[in-house]
Amino acid sequence: MDRLYKNLEDLLKQKIKLYESFISLLKEEWTCVSKYSYDSLQEVIEKKENKVIQMKALENNRSYLMLKIAKRLQVQQSSLTLKKIIQIRNIPNKINLAKCRKILLFQIRKISELTQMTKNLIDHSALSLKKSLAYIHSADEKAQSPYLANGKVMEGRVEGRMLSMDV
């Protein structure tokens, strides 16, 4: 049983390292988005996708390991969490598991914050772009319009336009 707990600790340490590199990629992504560096952003996105694949593989391994631990403890896997494992009295590496849990929780919060910051920046940039395009479109419409602001026709800009009154 001690070997299972040690394997869990090792797996959590791998997860911590993976999350660290993912956080650095999110920071890199923020820089690319803020500098409008599309090519660099594409590279970062590819790296992030690779990290997500690695995270999924680690999660599958963790799930399998938790299943083994749950069977040994004679509990359901769905009710077994890292917090509950840490609360068991006779685990030799209890302190290390608690440290890993604390670090992972911090990293998850950091990932969430960085993701939200980047999303907000992208949303703000998209809104700014929409407003700019709307302004350019309206300025173009005004420039091509034969009417002045007071509703009078501007001489020299009246083109032959016909309206059909037929229904």
Q: For residue range 87-143, what is the model confidence (pLDDT) as tens digits?
A: 887 888 889 999 999 999 999 999 999 999 999 988 888 888 888 887 777 766 666
Q: How many CA atoms lie within 13 A of 54 on its CB side?
A: 16
Q: For residue 9, which phi and psi values (nearest 5 degrees)?
A: -60, -45
Task: Give the pLDDT confidence of 20-69 residue by residue, as tens digits.
Answer: 999 999 999 999 988 888 899 999 999 999 999 999 999 999 999 999 99
What token pair was written down for 25?
């990629």
What is the structure's pLDDT at 61? 95
Tokens of 67: 């299943």
Q: pLDDT tens digits, residue range 83-101? A: 988 888 788 888 999 999 9
Q: In sequence order, which residues have a C-beta less than 8 Å from that of residue 41 and are 6 or more positions away?
A: 29, 32, 33
The rounded Cα 133 to chain-centroid distance in angstroms is 27
Go through the domains of the chain in sequence order and give each one's CATH number. Answer: 2-144 (1.20.58)
Task: Give the global pTM.
Answer: 0.75
15 closest CA partner among 64, 49, 67, 62? 62
**pLDDT (average), residues 63-81:** 89
- Residue 13 pLDDT: 97
pLDDT at residue number 21: 97
